[in-house]
Each structure stands twice: as C-alpha cells, then as structure tokens.
Amino acid sequence: MKGIKTEGFGVFDSPEYLQAQISSAGAKCSARGLAKLAAAMAGGGETQGHRVLGQSALNALHTEPVERSMTIMENRFTQGGLAQFKESDAAIGPLEAGMSAGRGGFYGWLGLGGSVFQWHPEHRIGFAYVPTALNPIDVFNERGKSYQEEILRCVAAMA
C-alpha cells in the first residue's frame, strides 16, 4: 500500500491505521478501561451499580461456541465473536496449549504484542493487561497469562 509504513508492526504502526477505529483490531484504550468493561462482562453486564449490557444481550454474546481452525490452530468462538477458552484444549496440540492452558473458563481475546482482554463469568473475574512495551514475539500473551493463572490460584485458595 502506497505510503503505509511496513517496518516494525507493519500496517499497525502506520499513521493511517492509527487513525482508524477498528474495534476488532488495534483498539486504542487503557488497561483500566478494558478492566472496567471486563468487570461488567464478568458481573452479569453490570459494574459499580451501572448496567452496561442487558442480561439477554450478555447471554447471547456468550452462546453457541463453534470450533474453527484459525489457520495454524483450533479455537472456539461464540456467536458474539468471543473466544471461549477451555483447559481441555491444551491437549489438542502445542499451539492450542499455548493459547488455552491457564485460561480455562475465560472469554474474550488477546492483542498483538501481549495485551489480554478477558473475563471469567463463573468466578466473576474481569481481566485486562496492556503492556507498555509491546512484544510481537509473545504470540500467546504469556506475560498476561501468568497473571491470569495467579488470579485463578487466589480464587481457588479463597474457596
């Protein structure tokens, strides 16, 4: 594409792309903002006394997960476009293990360079991780996953 920078993160770094508003790629937000939204998703559509999503919409967003190939690995997405993570997916293969191990029960997705935006409805956990230094080789967002695993350990210890 003429005039689009191709080094670094490629098109994601270009001034043209940075001006775009594409909710499924290149979101421009803070970890705090994502965490507030994730808390609402994990809290039945409500957070801090504010309803941000109706119960029927929340239910519809999480229903009918379908297993699909993502070119190099298997994953499952709901009718609302959310990835549903299951610990059992780790047995499918090494890529699926990298994606799912430690994230069982979470819904949401990951971002290029290490970001994580997910929630766990059963445990009512909203989670967001947005690193200052993006790392394009952290394909499975392992830095954020280590925090998710620790949160689940804390929940288990409290039970």
Tell me: the pLDDT tens digits for 3-57?
Answer: 544 455 566 667 777 777 666 666 778 889 999 999 999 999 999 999 999 999 9
pLDDT in the model for residue 3: 54
Segment 58-87 mean pLDDT: 91
Does 92 reside within a domain? yes
pLDDT in the model for residue 2: 55
Q: What is the pTM of this model?
A: 0.84
Does 1 reside within a domain? no
Does 10 reside within a domain? no
As for how many domains the chain has, the answer is 1
Q: What mean pLDDT is reported for the chain? A: 86
Q: In this structure, how many other beta carbons lie within 10 angstroms of the beta carbon of residue 118?
A: 27
Does 9 reside within a domain? no
pLDDT confidence of 71, banded at 50, 70, 90? Answer: confident
Does 50 reside within a domain? yes
Edge-to-edge strand ranges of the sheet holding 83-84: 66-69, 74-77, 83-84, 107-110, 116-120, 125-129
Residue 34 is classified by DSSP as: H
Does 130 reside within a domain? yes
Does 6 reside within a domain? no
pLDDT in the model for residue 30: 85
